[in-house]
Amino acid sequence: QKEVEQDPGPLSVPEGAIVSLNCTYSNSAFQYFMWYRQYSRKGPELLMYTYSSGNKEDGRFTAQVDKSSKYISLFIRDSQPSDSATYLCAMSGWGGGGADGLTFGKGTHLIIQP
């Protein structure tokens, strides 16, 4: 079993809908939780990150972390066709220094239908 599980989709929703993307994990040492967005044939880009449990909001995007359940979510409000991409969750046990890379989920392919 991989450390991070993420449903690959595809997830197809109509424009304007609220989108919910999720990951579960097994490593209790993870402290930082990230969401990356990857457009087709491009490299991933960081959307937002959260430290430990709680919520974080950035415009139409809200990230939630529930460490007790080892479950993280990304919500997208008022979804737009330009949000169509693959969304990857990523995790690490520290914020800076001592790097050994991030642990990624497989990514969820999201399609917003106009």
Partner 1 sequence: NAGVTQTPKFRVLKTGQSMTLLCAQDMNHEYMYWYRQDPGMGLRLIHYSVGEGTTAKGEVPDGYNVSRLKKQNFLLGLESAAPSQTSVYFCASSPFQQAGTEAFFGQGTRLTVV
* Position 28 contacts partner 1 (CB under 8 A): no
Furthest C-alpha separation in the chain: 44
CB contact burial 33-65 (16+ within 10 A = b; e otherwise): bbbbbeeeeeebeebbbbeeeeeeeeeebbbbb
Tokens encoding 64? 């939630």
**Does residue number 94 form part of the binding site for partner 1 (CB under 8 A)?**
yes
Q: CB-wise, 42 or 77, nearer to partner 1?
A: 42
Q: How far is the CB of 53 from partner 1 (least distance, A)?
A: 16
Q: Does 27 bind partner 1 (CB under 8 A)?
A: no
Enumerate residues 6+ apart whose C-beta is below 8 A from 95: 31, 32, 51
At which residue do the structure tokens 């050994």 appear?
100
Query: Among residue numbers 58 through 87, which ones bind partner 1 (CB under 8 A)?
Result: none
Establish if 111 lies at the interface with partner 1 (CB under 8 A).
no
Q: In DSSP terms, which residues pair with 92 in a beta bridge?
A: 32
Specify the residue, 84 or 105, whose C-beta has the smaller distance to partner 1: 105
**Least distance (Å) between residue 23 CB and partner 1:** 11
Contact residues for partner 1 (CB under 8 A)? 6, 8, 32, 34, 41-46, 49, 88, 92-102, 104-107
